[in-house]
Amino acid sequence: MTLEVALENLAADTDTWASAADTITTMSSSLGGLTLGEFVFTGRGYAAGVAYEEVRAHMESLTSDGGTELNDTVSTLRKIHADYADNEAAATARYNGMWTYDG
């Protein structure tokens, strides 16, 4: 496997992580809009409303944290890709100046 192929694979993996980050961030935003009042349920409405809000808020928090972690992962992968590409370009320039090929 060449470095070029590895960098292409890293870029594809990064795109997959970015897609997952977008999905979970959208989920978190959607959960934020699902807030209900404490008395929205009939019968045992108050207890059900409180339980619903606890679960909803917990899920919103988890997905928000997950989105943050995934976005951090994407940033790290992009930095790794850029570092590899920069190092490869620098090494190529350095070695090209060392030898000449007379074919």
Residue 101 or 33, more confident: 33
Reported as a pLDDT band with limits 50, 70 and 90, residue 88 is confident
pLDDT, position 45: 77
Distance CA 93, CA 103 (A): 19
Higher pLDDT, 5 or 24: 24
pLDDT of residue 100: 64
pLDDT band, very low/low/confident/very high, at 102 (cuts 50, 70, 90): low
89 contacts 8 by C-beta, under 8 angstroms: no
What's the number of CA atoms in the CB half-sphere (13 Å) around residue 76?
Answer: 7
Q: Is the pLDDT of residue 99 over 80?
A: no
Three-state secondary-structure class, residue 84: helix
Give the pLDDT confidence of 15-72 residue by residue, as tens digits.
999 999 999 999 999 999 999 877 787 776 788 888 899 999 999 999 999 999 999 9
Instruction: Calculate mean pLDDT across residues 82-95.
Output: 85
pTM: 0.75
